[in-house]
């Protein structure tokens, strides 16, 4: 067992039952000036599921993702992370900035539309960076990063920098970076928005497979029905409120 595994064991996919939410948001309201971006949102995210959040531009989708991930603190309402049987839940909205930053580094992973990779670092160094920031020894961080990249079919591109990769390859590097820390939740904001249809299909197929293998819950913000089709469940955000598709039951 590596030092990484000893310092931070990967979360077991079966810590929670399928009926127990991993993240629960209740009554979440977020205002930007006079604009109310979220208006009393209630939503649950369950272990191991892929949840697609859809809606028109400006509906509050990305604001909801940022509230669930502790990037922003709602004006009212709560977001709670359930640790599992025998452990106290963590109210994310009650944490200070430093504690929320540690939570994002240790428990959450992020993938954005344009990857947000560091252009001067190789694919291998980009993926190993979250581990290094978490205190993992460089040798172990590089080994784990290499393994994650190889799982995504990028073993021949370890030393290439993001500008030298195709859009689909760069986005898979971003996914590898998000998954390398074994996050409990992966937040993906328009992960296929800048890709052509073939690259988008490849990215979502591999993201879904890897997330399910690791037991990671995934929140995908998307405009694209083809991307949402990879989800287990879909919610619609309209005017800052959640609308569950008709006929859906968990």
pLDDT of 5 strictly over 70: no
pLDDT of 224 strictly over 90: no
Range of the domain at 161: 118-182
Domain assignment of residue 112, yes or no: no
Give which of 181, 184, 225, 180 is closest to 204, Cα–Cα: 225
Distance CA 122, CA 177 (A): 12
Helix or strand or coil: residue 78? strand
For the chain, the domain total comes to 2
Contacts of 67 (CB under 8 A, 6+ apart): 25, 28, 30, 38, 41, 73, 74, 79
Domain end call among 164, 182, 200: 182
Asked if 152 and 193 sit in the same domain, the reply is no
Average pLDDT over residues 197-205: 85
Judge contact between 143 and 96, C-beta under 8 A: no
Give which of 85, 86, 68 is closest to 77, Cα–Cα: 68
Asked if 61 and 130 sit in the same domain, the reply is no
Domain assignment of residue 83, yes or no: yes
pLDDT confidence tier of residue 206, bands split at 50, 70 and 90: confident
Distance CA 205, CA 181 (A): 20
Helix or strand or coil: residue 108? strand
Judge contact between 51 and 231, C-beta under 8 A: yes
Contacts of 76 (CB under 8 A, 6+ apart): 27, 28, 29
Distance CA 101, CA 95 (A): 10
Query: Cα 216–105–182 angle (5° rounding)?
Result: 30
Model pLDDT, residue 14: 33
Asked if 178 and 223 sit in the same domain, the reply is no
pLDDT digits (tens, 9 = 90+) for 124-171: 999 999 999 889 999 999 999 999 999 888 999 999 999 999 988 998
Domain end call among 132, 152, 182: 182
pLDDT of 194 strictly over 50: yes
Mean pLDDT across the chain: 85
Domain end call among 133, 150, 182: 182
Please state the pTM of the whole predicted model. 0.82
Average pLDDT over residues 86-107: 86
pLDDT confidence tier of residue 88, bands split at 50, 70 and 90: confident
pLDDT confidence tier of residue 86, bands split at 50, 70 and 90: low
Average pLDDT over residues 98-103: 90
């Amino acid at each position: 067992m590596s030092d990484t595994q000893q310092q931070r064991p990967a979360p077991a996919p079966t810590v929670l039952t399928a009926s127990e939410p991993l993240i629960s948001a209740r009554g979440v309201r977020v205002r930007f000036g006079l604009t109310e971006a979220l208006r009393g949102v209630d939503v649950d995210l369950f272990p191991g599921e892929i949840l697609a959040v859809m809606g028109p531009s400006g509906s509050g989708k990305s604001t909801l993702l940022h509230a669930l991930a502790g990037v922003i603190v709602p004006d009212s309402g709560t977001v709670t992370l359930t640790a599992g049987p025998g452990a106290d839940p963590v109210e994310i909205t009650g944490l200070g900035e430093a504690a929320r930053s540690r939570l994002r580094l240790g428990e959450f992973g992020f993938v954005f539309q344009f990857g947000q990779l560091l252009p001067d670092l190789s694919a291998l160094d980009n993926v190993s960076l979250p581990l290094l920031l978490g205190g993992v020894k460089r040798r172990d961080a590089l080994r784990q990063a290499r393994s994650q990249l190889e799982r995504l079919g990028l073993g021949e591109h370890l030393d290439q920098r993001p500008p030298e990769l195709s859009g689909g390859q760069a986005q898979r590097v971003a996914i590898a970076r998000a998954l390398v820390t074994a996050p409990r939740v992966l937040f993906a904001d328009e992960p296929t928005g800048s890709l052509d249809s073939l690259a988008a299909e490849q990215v979502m197929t591999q993201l879904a497979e890897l997330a399910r293998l690791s037991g990671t819950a995934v929140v995908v913000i998307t405009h694209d029905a083809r991307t949402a089709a990879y989800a287990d469940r879909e919610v619609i955000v309209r005017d800052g409120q959640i609308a569950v598709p008709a006929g859906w039951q968990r």
